[in-house]
A and B are shown apart, each in its own frame.
Chain A
Amino acid sequence: DIQMTQSPSSLSASVGDRLTITCRASQSIRSYLNWYQQKPGKAPKLLIYAASSLQSGVPSRFSGSGSGTDFTLTISSLQPEDFATYYCQQSYSTPLTFGPGTKVEIK
């Protein structure tokens, strides 16, 4: 199975901050990497697919990059509604696997 790791596991940030979350796969997954946002009590929401493609309806302040084993999710200017937990997920092969999550909290 492909193992996914994320860093940091949590962070505190302020509105307007630029934020970067990293995700690493245990082997090359080419660009089969997706990012999700989850708020408490809600279902996850797809933000980025295929490493860098912005899902329809997602604000342009979200962006993704990377290929192979190393990936990043960037939020260019953090907004109040962005405080949530973010997960990466590989879709290169089954079993599909998720990273442990990064919780973004208000400073």
Chain B
Amino acid sequence: EVQLLESGGGLVHPGGSLRLSCVASGFTFDNYAMSWVRQAPGKGLEWVSGIRGSGGNTYYAESVKGRFTISRDSSKNTVFLQMNSLRAEDTAVYYCAKDLERETVAGSGLDPWGQGTLVTVSS
């Protein structure tokens, strides 16, 4: 069974940093792209970042470009999201998700998703 388990969320002050982790199991990790998607309280879904299965290419939403960094460690079957210079508007549940079929970030759906980890940016 494919499983994704996020961790690392919490309360952080504006301007602070946080590192999210997503441990994957049940599939050949290097063969699939991974993405982070967030959902602010009571709002819709916003794709944040994605990384190719090989780890060579990374992609970001304009809203986080230059502040967030996605990476992956195939030895640990883990994808990370390093979040710096956090703002109140970054407050959200952050989900990691596996690409359904592909090693590339675009081209297919996202399935499955983890249970999410809550990031709250507040003073």
Instruction: State whether the Cβ of A100 lies closer than 8 Å to any Cβ in chain B.
Output: yes
Q: A91-B109, A94-B59 given. 13 additional CB < 8 A pairs?
A: A32-B107, A34-B110, A46-B110, A55-B111, A89-B47, A89-B110, A94-B106, A96-B47, A96-B50, A96-B105, A97-B47, A98-B45, A101-B45
Question: A95 with B107: in contact, given A43-B115, A87-B45 (CB under 8 Å)?
Answer: no
Instruction: State whether the Cβ of A49 lies closer than 8 Å to any Cβ in chain B.
Output: yes
> How many residues does chain B have at the interface if contact means C-beta atoms less than 8 Å apart?
25
Nearest-neighbour CB distance to chain A for B88, whole angstroms, equals: 21
Contact of A1 among B62, B111, B113 (CB under 8 A): B62
Contacts from B to A (Cβ < 8 Å): 35, 37, 44-47, 50, 59-62, 95, 100, 105-116
Residues from chain A with Cβ under 8 Å of B115 in the complex: 43
Instruction: State whether the Cβ of A12 lies closer than 8 Å to any Cβ in chain B.
Output: no
